[in-house]
Amino acid sequence: MRANQRNIMPDLISALLTLALSGCGDSNAPTAPPTGAIEITVMTTSTIGDVDTTGYVVSIDDGAWRSVGVPTRVEIDGLSKARHRITLSGLGTNCSVTSPNPLLVDLDPDLGVLLLSFTVKCPPEGPYPWDY
Output the pLDDT for position 17.
63
- Answer whether the bond into residue 100 is a cis peptide, omega within 30°: no
How do residues 109-126 score in pLDDT, each as one tens digit? 999 999 999 988 888 766
Rounded (10°) CA dihedral 58, 64, 69, 71? -20
- State the Cα–Cα distance between residues 101 and 118, nearest whole angstrom: 8
36-126: what fold? Immunoglobulin-like (2.60.40)
Q: Where are the domains of the chain?
A: 36-126
Residue 85, classed as helix, strand or coil, is strand
Output the pLDDT for position 127.
60
How do residues 57-113 score in pLDDT, each as one tens digit? 999 999 999 988 777 788 999 999 999 999 999 988 888 999 999 999 999 999 999
